Amino acid sequence: MNGNAEIVLEAIFQRRSVRNFTGGCVDPSVLVTLMKAAMAAPSARNRQPWAFIAITERNTMNTLANGLPYTKMLYKAGGAVIVCGDSTVDLQQGATDLWYQDAAAASQNILLAAHALGLGAVWSALYPYEDRSGLVSRILGLPSFITPFSIIPVGYPTGEDLPKDKFRSDRIHWEKW
Amino acid sequence: MNGNAEIVLEAIFQRRSVRNFTGGCVDPSVLVTLMKAAMAAPSARNRQPWAFIAITERNTMNTLANGLPYTKMLYKAGGAVIVCGDSTVDLQQGATDLWYQDAAAASQNILLAAHALGLGAVWSALYPYEDRSGLVSRILGLPSFITPFSIIPVGYPTGEDLPKDKFRSDRIHWEKW
Question: Can you tell me the distance from the alpha carbon of B94 to that of B89, in angstroms, rounded to the nearest whole number?
Answer: 9
With respect to residue A97, please indicate whether it lies within any of the assigned structural domains.
yes
pTM summary value? 0.97
Given a contact cutoff of 8 angstroms between Cβ atoms, the answer to whether B80 and B55 are in contact is yes
Q: Are A54 and B1 in contact (CB < 8 Å)?
A: no
In this predicted structure, what is the pLDDT of residue A121?
98
Inter-chain touch B53–A177, beta carbons under 8 Å:
yes
What pLDDT does residue A30 have?
98
> Is the ipTM value over 0.85, yes or no?
yes
Question: Would you say residue B122 lies in a domain?
Answer: yes
What does the mean pLDDT of chain A come to? 95
Closest-CA residue of B relative to A60 is B175
Contact residues, chain A, for B39 at CB < 8 Å: 166-168, 171
The confidence score (pLDDT) of residue A2 equals 80
Going from the C-alpha of B157 to that of each of A17, B8, B15, B120, the distances in angstroms are 33, 20, 12, 5
Q: Is B141 on the interface with A (CB under 8 A)?
A: yes
Q: What is the mean pLDDT of chain B?
A: 95
Examine residue A25 and state whether it is found in any structural domain, yes or no.
Answer: no
Concatenated DSSP letters for A112-140? HHHHHTT-EE--EE-TT-HHHHHHHHHHH
Is A16 part of any domain? no
Neighbours of B92 (CB within 10 A): 11
> Could you tell me the CATH number of the domain that includes residue A89?
3.40.109.10
Read off the pLDDT of each residue in A110-136 and give the average, rounded to a whole number.
Answer: 97
Whether residue A143 and residue B51 make contact (CB cut-off 8 A), yes or no, is no
The enclosing H or E element of B139 equals: helix B130-140
pLDDT score for A96? 64
Q: Is B62 a domain residue?
A: yes
The closest CB to that of B174, out of A48, A54, A100, belongs to A54
Closest CA to B52 of B87, B78, B83: B83
pLDDT in tens, chain B (177 residues): 788 999 999 999 999 999 999 999 999 999 999 999 999 999 999 999 999 999 999 999 999 999 999 999 999 999 999 999 999 886 666 556 899 999 999 999 999 999 999 999 999 999 999 999 999 999 999 999 999 999 999 999 999 999 999 999 999 999 999
**Average pLDDT of the segment spanning A119-131:** 97
Whether the CB of B33 is below 8 Å from some CB of chain A: the reply is: yes
Determine, yes or no, domain membership for B10: no
pLDDT at site B89: 85
Any domain includes B47: yes
From CA B105, how far away is CA A136, in angstroms rounded? 23
Count structural domains, chain B.
1
Angle between helices A3-14 and A99-116 (to 10 degrees): 110
- Residue A137 covered by a domain: yes
Model pLDDT for residues A42-100, shown as the tens digit of each residue: 999 999 999 999 999 999 999 999 999 999 999 999 999 999 999 988 666 655 689 99
Give which of A118, A110, A120 is closest to A50, Cα–Cα: A110
Distance between CA atoms of residues A71 and A91, nearest Å: 31
Instruction: For residue A144, give the amino acid letter.
Output: S
Mutate to test the interface with A, among B112, B122, B139, B164 (most CBs of A within 10 A): B112
% of chain A exceeding 90 in pLDDT: 92
| Enclosing domain of residue A118 | 35-156
A22-36, A162-176, B86-100: least confidently modelled range: B86-100
